[in-house]
Amino acid sequence: MPVGNASDGIGLFAGQIMFSANFNFQNIDWSHDPVPNEEYDHFGHLNTSLFLPSLTLGLSDYWNVSYQQALAVRKMGWGPHEESNHHRTESSLDDFVNANGGILGDSKLKFTYLFKNVGMQTGNRIFLGFGISIPSKNVLTSDPFFLQEQEESASGQVNWEEDGHEHRHFALSDGNYKNILEFQFFNKRLKNPVFWGVKLMAEVPYKDSDYNYKAGKTLTLSISSLFKPSKTLRDMNLIGLSGGLFLIHNGEGYWNGLLDPSSNSTMLIPSIGSIWKMGSNSFSINIQKPLLIKGIGIGSENALNNEFDAFEISVGYRYTMDYVIPWLYYK
């Protein structure tokens, strides 16, 4: 729970039920140089509010199954007074000429095998999970970079100009079905850090979107730790101070077989936070600072001098029910 999903590092025994949820708010301030036919600086902000409820069930003492549904709203704030074909003040709730609007993001169904699980006791937890990510219909319905048109224009096949072609660059889903593979190692002990661990996850697309977009592979490494606070803070129901790191790499994506210029990125996200416990309920809050290591705004290909500045706030909740499903529980 220190970094990542509220359910990380938690394995259920047979018949147990756990509800967890994460709420993330991310703000990105962005800018880039003028583009053809729009000879002024482009700048604005992109806000994302993401809610991730999840339900986990202990099928046995060794197998857990979980279902997660993403709900989100993404809003673009356009800075300049001039009109643009590329950007405008808009929301992912609304349809656009190349985007389906809505609130539903991807859903995930995952099975986890508990190689070693000590419950709430001290010791190691070793989990291996696999599942699928199911895309929502809230996707981009055509290439926002007009890659095929630009290629045909460059070869002299057509006379095409981008001016007048309005488009949106963001959506809640990339429209791809994906396989999920996950490994977790966590350790609980009596001395600081009292809880720490590593999580590795790979999401590999196996079916392109209905609009010929093939997403890249996503690899995520998270390292988290939880430190026991002073007695004064523990008396206030604060059970831990947390810190950690995310490293996220998104591979190359393709529109109609042509490389998506916004794909192939690597991001490092340091995080600090705290956890409170009230009865069977656990609450966490984390502050995160995404740092773009590689991507559209970095390196020699940054022809438009893209700039990127972001921050995130994440609130987590976890509740393990006292009720145990009797036909799954056995001794």
Q: Binning pLDDT at 50, 70 and 90, where does residue 157 land?
A: low
In-domain check, residue 69: yes
In-domain check, residue 57: yes
Q: Please report where in the chains the tokens 């393709």 appear, as a residue.
A: 254
- Distance, CA of 240 to CA of 157 (rounded, Å): 63
Give the pLDDT of residue 298.
40
Number of domains in the chain: 1
Whether residue 159 is predicted with pLDDT greater than 60 in this model: the reply is no
In-domain check, residue 2: no
- pTM given for the model: 0.89
Does 251 or 42 have the greater pLDDT score?
Answer: 251
Domain that holds residue 192: 17-320
What CATH number corresponds to the domain at position 201? 2.40.160.40
Q: What is the pLDDT of residues 66-94, one digit of tens each?
A: 999 999 999 998 887 777 777 788 899 99
Does 76 or 185 have the greater pLDDT score?
Answer: 185
Whether residue 122 is predicted with pLDDT greater than 60 in this model: the reply is yes
CB 208 within 8 A of CB 256: no
In-domain check, residue 96: yes
In-domain check, residue 5: no
Which 3 state secondary structure label does DSSP give 159?
Answer: coil
In-domain check, residue 298: yes
- Distance, CA of 247 to CA of 269 (rounded, Å): 6
Does 143 or 302 have the greater pLDDT score?
Answer: 143
In-domain check, residue 325: no
In-domain check, residue 205: yes
Whether residue 126 is predicted with pLDDT greater than 60 in this model: the reply is yes
- Distance, CA of 136 to CA of 170 (rounded, Å): 14
Give the pLDDT of residue 330.
57
- Distance, CA of 192 to CA of 227 (rounded, Å): 5
- Count other C-beta atoms under 10 Å from residue 214's C-beta: 19
- Distance, CA of 227 to CA of 293 (rounded, Å): 28
Give the pLDDT of residue 155.
60
The sign of the CA dihedral 89, 92, 96, 97 is: positive
